[in-house]
Amino acid sequence: MLSSEAETIAFGAALANAIGEQGAVIYLDGDLGAGKTTLSRGLVRAFGHSGAVKSPTYTLVEPYELSDKSIYHFDLYRLSQPEELYYLGVEDYLQKPAAVCLFEWSMKGRGEIPPADLTLQLAADSCESHQHRTLAMTTCSDRGRTILQNLADTYAVLD
Ligand SMILES: Nc1ncnc2c1ncn2[C@@H]1O[C@H](COP(=O)(O)OP(=O)(O)O)[C@@H](O)[C@H]1O
Ligand SMILES: [Mg+2]
């Protein structure tokens, strides 16, 4: 559970530390306003980016070439066909093994984006305080399992 925007940002930072030098493909799913961009902001900043982290809703992808990390933050909400990704020339981003690729609305890119190491499902529970978000994580790769293990070692409140 993430009780505030600050906690969501802190979780993004903990995830960045758990990823470390490896590459990772992370799907961020959940409704509009669930906190996908907020979590991404915490992650991107923890890798050393000091400027703004804008939602890539209109640009589809926002690249961050940091001193020792490349991060590609996608928001596929406005994509009408997964194949459009191919024409946007994002192939190169998706081939880089050590890059971190974040995909908001991953289902819209089905078939054209790499498989996830981690899938994060965020939800705002309307019955509770609107600050409260729930987070569920699933993994289906060795890389994802390593990241989750690192996270469990450093991030105490996974309830
Ligand atoms: N616990 C929380 N985690 C993330 N965002 C929160 C939380 N509580 C409130 N918010 C607010 O909800 C909104 C989430 O927006 P955003 O991260 O852009 O969502 P998404 O990218 O999923 O559409 C922000 O305005 C943020 O301030
Ligand atoms: Mg967003």
Choice from 1, 38, 104 to test ligand 1 binding pocket (greatest atom count within 8 A of CB): 38
Which residues are 28's β-sheet partners?
Answer: 104, 120
How does pLDDT run across 81-105, given as a tens digit for each residue?
999 988 887 888 888 889 999 999 9
CB of residue 2 inside a 6 A radius of ligand 1: yes
pLDDT reading at 157 higher than 60: no
Residues lining ion ligand 2 (Cβ < 5 A) are 36-37, 55, 104
Sequential DSSP letters for 8-38: HHHHHHHHHHHHTTS-EEEEEE-STTSSHHH
- Average per-residue pLDDT in the chain? 92
pLDDT at 127: 63
Q: How far is the CA of 6 from the centre of ligand 1 (A)?
A: 10
Helix (H) or strand (E) segment spanning residue 93:
helix 91-95
pLDDT at 91: 84
Cα 104 to Cα 62, 109, 126: the distances in Å are: 12, 10, 21
Cα angle: 65, vertex 83, 73; to 5 degrees: 25
How does pLDDT run across 20-71, given as a tens digit for each residue?
999 999 999 999 999 999 999 999 999 999 999 999 998 999 999 999 899 9
143 pLDDT tier (thresholds 50, 70, 90): very high
Helix (H) or strand (E) segment spanning residue 103:
strand 100-104
Residue 25 and residue 140 in contact, taking contact as beta carbons nearer than 8 Å: no
* Longest Cα separation, the chain: 43
Whole-angstrom distance, CA of residue 102 vs CA of residue 118: 10
pLDDT at 73: 98
Share of the chain above pLDDT 70, in %: 95
Whole-angstrom distance, CA of residue 5 vs CA of residue 32: 15
How does pLDDT run across 111-126, given as a tens digit for each residue?
999 999 999 999 997 6
